[in-house]
């Protein structure tokens, strides 16, 4: 049998090594206690302060982590890793300008510090400074051409700029250097979708999910891809999975509602929109679409109430005025139908007049002189 290791109170290196071993196995609280022992014996041990900060960051205790990094830097201002990890903690707290300053200090000490360049770019991207951000990702790649995270982040910016083919090349590079990067597979899939290559998009999303099965965004976008391919029942199953993983993800409820409406399942569609409105009560388009679903069920008064809610939020949204006119027409209320249609035509005359001329919803009032006069006056 191996004898247990004995620790002397002043043996700071042994305590430090124990802390590193514990940190590397995810035992962060125990690691912190070991680093505390090392620091108690040697207050100016910057590596112990630094790794204590890393363990605190792993526990999400970023303010305390920064305090530890500050102590490391007090004793060793040239500790580039302490500057780097300090920047990461500041970034996680949303203190982006401070984070950039820390990354700058790390880069001054090591010009090809590719992780610092990459995270500097992430902070700049969060600030909306995309040109500066992509320059940082380029610096990271220049320092380490196989650094998959920088390729992935570069691709994200190119996607924001609508440069989807160039973005796809970046995601392919990220995957080449790290085939297990589920986010790169996901981003590749979304980009293929923007290029109209839905089958390939679906395959990439499936690969992302084979690596990370609980990635709700991939399930959601898988649903959208299937919806675009006309595979509506399958898309519902993907939206359901996204909702199972993140119940308040209103975009999945919204898309689920659209698909149910396409399948003629209007009561279920309305239930989905109600879920969306619990999270986003001022989402005027959902109030509008809820009204349309109610109209399909001939629940006209409820439909009009939904349209009114939508118009209170966005009075210049012509589709709601038009749908409200349709609803009144189905009720045979010519005066209110014309009043709503007038508003729709005022906001978008070309589309609304063309639609009203042939729309079956106005079949019951089409011969009414007031309706005919409205169309003639706007031709």
Q: Are 303 and 296 contacting, i.e. CB atoms less than 8 angstroms apart? A: no
Nearest to 13 by CA among 32, 37, 29, 33: 37
**Element (DSSP H or E) covering residue 354:** helix 349-358
> Taking all residues of the chain, what is their mean pLDDT, rounded to a whole number?
95
What fold is seen in the domain 282-379?
1.25.40
Q: Express each pLDDT in 336-359 by its tens digit.
A: 999 999 999 999 999 999 999 999
Contacts of 34 (CB under 8 A, 6+ apart): 15, 16, 18, 19, 22
Interval 310-317 mean pLDDT: 98
Please check the confidence at residue 235 and state whether its pLDDT lies above 90. Answer: yes
Contacts of 301 (CB under 8 A, 6+ apart): none
Q: Are 54 and 89 contacting, i.e. CB atoms less than 8 angstroms apart? A: no
Report d(CA 119, CA 91) in Å as an integer: 8
Contacts of 298 (CB under 8 A, 6+ apart): 330
| 373 or 183: which leads in pLDDT | 183
Q: Express each pLDDT in 27-75 by its tens digit.
A: 999 999 999 999 999 999 999 999 999 999 999 999 999 999 999 999 9
Q: How confident is the model at residue 376 (pLDDT cuts 50, 70, 90)?
A: confident
Interval 129-139 mean pLDDT: 98
Interval 276-291 mean pLDDT: 98
Contacts of 100 (CB under 8 A, 6+ apart): 87, 120, 123, 124
| DSSP of 67-94 | HHHHHHHHH-TT-HHHHHHHHHHHHHTT
Burial class of residue 95, CB neighbours in 10 A (0-12, 13-18, 19+): middle
State the sign of the Cα–Cα–Cα–Cα dihedral 14, 80, 84, 185: negative
What's the pLDDT at 9? 57
Nearest to 11 by CA among 29, 28, 34: 34
DSSP state at residue 362: G
Apex 192 CA angle, 190 and 196, nearest 5: 115
Region class of 332: left (phi > 0), else alpha (psi between -120 and 50), else beta? left
Q: How confident is the model at residue 375 (pLDDT cuts 50, 70, 90)?
A: confident
Q: Express each pLDDT in 5-37 by its tens digit.
A: 555 656 889 999 999 999 999 999 999 999 999
Region class of 299: left (phi > 0), else alpha (psi between -120 and 50), else beta? beta
What's the pLDDT at 1? 46
Radius of gyration of the chain (CA): 29
What's the pLDDT at 379? 67
Q: Express each pLDDT in 98-132 by its tens digit.
A: 999 999 999 999 999 999 999 999 999 999 999 99
Say what percent of the chain tops pLDDT 70.
Answer: 97
Please check the confidence at residue 262 and state whether its pLDDT lies above 60. Answer: yes
Q: Express each pLDDT in 191-233 by its tens digit.
A: 999 999 999 999 999 999 999 999 999 999 999 999 999 999 9
Say what percent of the chain tops pLDDT 90.
Answer: 93
pTM (two decimals): 0.89
What's the pLDDT at 374? 87
């Amino acid at each position: 049998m191996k004898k247990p290791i004995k620790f002397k109170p002043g043996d700071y290196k042994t305590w430090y090594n124990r802390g590193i071993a514990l940190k590397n196995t995810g035992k962060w609280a125990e690691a912190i206690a070991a680093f505390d022992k090392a620091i108690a014996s040697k207050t100016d041990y910057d590596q112990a302060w630094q790794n204590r900060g890393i363990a605190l960051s792993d526990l999400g205790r970023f303010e305390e982590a920064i305090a530890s990094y500050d102590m490391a830097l007090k004793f060793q201002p040239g500790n580039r890793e302490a500057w780097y990890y300090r920047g990461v903690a500041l970034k996680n707290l949303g203190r982006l300008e401070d984070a950039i300053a820390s990354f700058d200090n790390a880069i001054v000490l090591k010009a090809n510090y590719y992780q610092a360049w990459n995270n500097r770019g992430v902070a700049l991207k969060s600030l909306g400074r995309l040109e500066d951000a992509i320059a940082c990702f380029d610096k990271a790649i220049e320092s380490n051409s196989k650094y998959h995270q920088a390729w992935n982040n570069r691709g994200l910016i190119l996607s924001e700029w609508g440069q989807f083919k160039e973005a796809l090349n970046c995601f392919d590079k990220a995957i080449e250097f790290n085939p297990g990067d589920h986010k790169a597979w996901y981003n590749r899939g979304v980009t293929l979708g923007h290029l109209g290559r839905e089958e390939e998009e679906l395959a990439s999303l499936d690969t992302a999910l084979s690596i990370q099965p609980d990635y709700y965004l991939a399930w959601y976008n898988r649903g959208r891809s299937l919806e675009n391919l006309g595979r509506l029942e399958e898309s519902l199953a993907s939206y359901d999975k996204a909702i199972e993983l993140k119940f308040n993800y209103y975009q999945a409820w919204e898309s689920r509602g659209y698909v149910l409406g396409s399948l003629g399942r209007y009561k279920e569609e309305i239930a989905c929109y109600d879920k969306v409105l619990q999270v986003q009560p001022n989402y005027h388009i959902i109030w509008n679409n809820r009204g349309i679903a109610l109209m399909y069920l001939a629940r006209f008064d409820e439909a009009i109430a939904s349209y009114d809610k939508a118009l209170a939020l966005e009075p210049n949204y012509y589709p709601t005025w038009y749908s409200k006119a349709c609803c009144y027409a189905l009720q045979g209320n010519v005066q209110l139908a014309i009043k709503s249609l007038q508003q729709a035509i005022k906001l978008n005359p070309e589309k609304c007049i063309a639609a009203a001329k042939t729309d079956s919803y106005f079949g019951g009032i089409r011969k009414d002189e007031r309706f005919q006069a409205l169309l003639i006056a706007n031709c």
